[in-house]
């Protein structure tokens, strides 16, 4: 059975579960909404549903029930590679099943057919000033492709019906995903490599082809596969996934929805934190004249940052209450491939020094490092030193999870998202603070 047939079968099997919950259990209370939760960005309210991944505060992410080490071990890998096919990971996220080699081959072939970047996207990018942030270029490139949305054309034709919406969303997703490595690599080489470009290789997989188009040798192909898989999904309450879901709930197509999600990812408290970590480390390196600081010197730099009112980038999390397993996966890779890298030594030192300091502050709920504390150091090691590009890498990976989510959103007919707001007067009244 092909991926689309399998997906349809799974959607059909799942629909009655949602219908039953909606009809028979609609009034069952699942969570409390406190004043804290309202003011603190709806923190922790159980108000979203997704089956693509689940984030346990102490264990970290599971993709379709599998931990990161399980995903890395169980998914098929290209010959000689340490990391799995991104194609296979998408198959897992979308269908919930581990792919066979044949399933991976199907996604590979389908994506190859659809990967070409339209000339008008390239023209759009070229028209932008070169000092535009790469995330702005990335979001603009995605949005430009909206003209080709099959979902939007189908809706405009007047033939829309809720039961078939997943099909057109799926087709858009399969058109969009393979273009992302080309878009990312194009932006990188246009901005930083004198507008010289390396054509896509029809024989290379998603991660391998990205490394090839970036112009970086092995093992960067494995770095790319690892990055895209690790960043793919983090359940659906984070800013990029939630934004994508929210915008799509208005029946906006994937181009509108995912571009909006990418604008959220570009915030420094979310995906931009990976560039901020490298910027912070570079600042310390300049002050240290390239030397590795002692523990005491590093502690002082951390306190200087906190005392100037800034957050320590790469540490803390809204849900996690332990070191992010995505951080640990990258640390394992770094210990194996780049143990003597000077930036890795900084990252390692921060791992020792930052958590006790954040604990001392008394207000930080999670003092441990998140994924962004490690991402930049591996990129830097393999030559991607233009750190304002790092969030684009996060964004390409994030596409895998958020697009799988949106296909399922349409498959299960989830409604337009529309929570209720109240005024401060009303909240004071409800809280008994008047």
Active site (catalytic) residues: 270, 317, 372
Beta-carbon neighbour count of residue 209 at 10 Å? 26
Tokens representing residue 75 in the block = 């998914």
Residue placing its CB nearer to ligand MLT in the complex, 236 or 305: 236
Residue placing its CB nearer to ligand MLT in the complex, 200 or 370: 370
Which residue's Cβ has the minimum distance to ligand MLT?
238
CB of 292 to ligand NMX, least distance (A): 22
Residue placing its CB nearer to ligand NMX in the complex, 86 or 371: 371
364 contacts which partner out of ligand MLT, ligand NMX, none, CB within 5 to 8 A by kind? Answer: ligand NMX
245 binds ligand MLT (CB under 6 A): no
The bridge status of strand 53-56 relative to strand 60-63 is antiparallel
316 contacts which partner out of ligand NMX, ligand MLT, none, CB within 5 to 8 A by kind? Answer: ligand NMX
318 binds ligand MLT (CB under 6 A): yes
| 3-class DSSP string for the chain | CCHHHHHHHHHHHHHHHHHHHHHHCCCCCCCCCCHHHHHCCCCCCCCCCCCCEEEECCCEEEECCECHHHHHHHCCCCCCCCCCCHHHHHHHHHHCCCCCHHHHHHHHHHHHHHCCCCHHHHHHHHCCCCCCCHHHHHHHHHHHHHHHCHHHHHHHCCCCCHHHHHHHHHHHHHHHCCHHHHHHHHHHHHHHCCCCCCCCCCCCCHHHHHHHHHCCCCCHHHHHHHHHHHCCCCCCCCHHHHHHHHHHCCCCCHHHHHHHHHHHHCCCCCCCHHHHHHHHHHHHHHHCCCCCCCHHHHHHHHHHHHHCCCCCCCECCCCCCCCCHHHHHHHHHHHHHCCCCHHHHHHHHHHHHHHHHHHHHCCCCCCCECCHHHHHHHHHHCCCCCHHHHHHHHHHHHHHHHHHHHHHHHHCCCCCCCCCCCCHHHHHHHHCCC
Residue placing its CB nearer to ligand MLT in the complex, 200 or 244: 244
370 binds ligand MLT (CB under 6 A): yes
Cα 10 to Cα 419: distance, rounded to the nearest angstrom: 29
CB of 262 to ligand MLT, least distance (A): 12
Residues in contact with ligand NMX by CB under 6 A are: 43, 269-271, 273, 306, 311-318, 358, 363-366, 370-372
CB of 366 to ligand NMX, least distance (A): 6
392 binds ligand MLT (CB under 6 A): no
CB of 46 to ligand MLT, least distance (A): 15
CB of 271 to ligand MLT, least distance (A): 7
Residue placing its CB nearer to ligand NMX in the complex, 178 or 369: 369
Residue placing its CB nearer to ligand MLT in the complex, 224 or 371: 371
CB of 9 to ligand MLT, least distance (A): 30
234 binds ligand MLT (CB under 6 A): yes
Residue placing its CB nearer to ligand MLT in the complex, 60 or 76: 60
Select the residue interacting with ligand MLT from 238, 305, 375, 403 (CB under 6 A): 238
269 contacts which partner out of ligand NMX, ligand MLT, none, CB within 5 to 8 A by kind? Answer: ligand NMX
431 contacts which partner out of ligand NMX, ligand MLT, none, CB within 5 to 8 A by kind? Answer: none
CB of 291 to ligand NMX, least distance (A): 25
Q: What residues make contact with ligand MLT under the rule CB under 6 A?
A: 234, 238, 270, 318-319, 370-371
């Amino acid at each position: 059975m092909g991926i689309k047939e399998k997906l349809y079968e799974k959607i059909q099997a799942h629909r009655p579960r949602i219908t039953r919950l909606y009809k028979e259990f609609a009034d069952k209370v699942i969570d409390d909404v406190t004043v804290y939760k309202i003011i603190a960005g709806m923190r922790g309210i159980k108000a979203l549903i997704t089956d693509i991944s689940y984030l346990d505060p102490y264990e970290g992410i599971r993709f379709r029930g599998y931990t990161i080490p399980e995903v890395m071990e169980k998914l098929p890998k290209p010959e000689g590679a340490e990391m799995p096919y991104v194609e296979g990971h998408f198959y897992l996220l979308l269908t919930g099943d581990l792919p066979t080699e044949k399933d991976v081959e199907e996604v590979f072939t389908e994506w190859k057919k659809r990967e070409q970047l339209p000339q008008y996207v390239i023209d759009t990018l070229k028209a932008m000033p070169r000092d535009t942030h790469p995330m702005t270029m990335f979001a603009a490139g995605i949005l430009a492709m909206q003209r080709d949305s099959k979902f939007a054309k189908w809706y405009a034709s007047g033939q829309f019906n809720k039961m078939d919406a997943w099909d057109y969303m799926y087709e858009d997703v399969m058109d969009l995903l393979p273009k992302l490595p080309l878009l990312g690599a194009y932006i990188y080489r246009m901005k930083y490599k004198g507008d010289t470009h390396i054509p896509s290789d029809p024989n290379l997989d998603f991660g391998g082809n990205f490394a090839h188009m970036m112009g970086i040798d092995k093992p960067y192909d494995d770095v790319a596969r690892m990055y895209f898989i690790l960043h793919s999904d983090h359940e659906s309450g984070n800013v990029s996934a939630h934004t994508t879901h929210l915008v799509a709930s208005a029946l906006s197509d994937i181009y509108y929805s995912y571009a909006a999600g990418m604008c959220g990812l570009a915030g420094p408290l979310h995906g931009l934190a990976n560039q901020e970590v490298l910027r912070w480390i570079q600042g310390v390196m300049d002050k240290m004249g390239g030397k590795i600081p002692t523990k005491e010197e590093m502690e002082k730099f951390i306190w200087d940052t906190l005392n100037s009112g800034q957050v320590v980038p790469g540490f803390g999390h809204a849900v996690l209450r332990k070191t992010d397993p995505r951080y640990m996966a990258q640390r394992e890779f770094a210990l194996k491939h780049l143990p003597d890298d000077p930036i890795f030594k900084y990252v390692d030192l921060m791992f020792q020094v930052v958590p006790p300091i954040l604990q001392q502050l008394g207000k930080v709920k999670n003092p441990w490092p998140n994924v962004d504390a490690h991402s930049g150091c591996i990129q830097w090691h393999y030559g991607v030193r233009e750190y304002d590009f790092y969030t684009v890498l996060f964004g390409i990976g994030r596409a895998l999870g958020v697009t799988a989510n949106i296909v399922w959103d349409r498959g299960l007919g989830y409604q337009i998202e529309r929570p209720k707001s109240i005024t401060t007067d009303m909240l004071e009244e409800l809280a008994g603070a008047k």
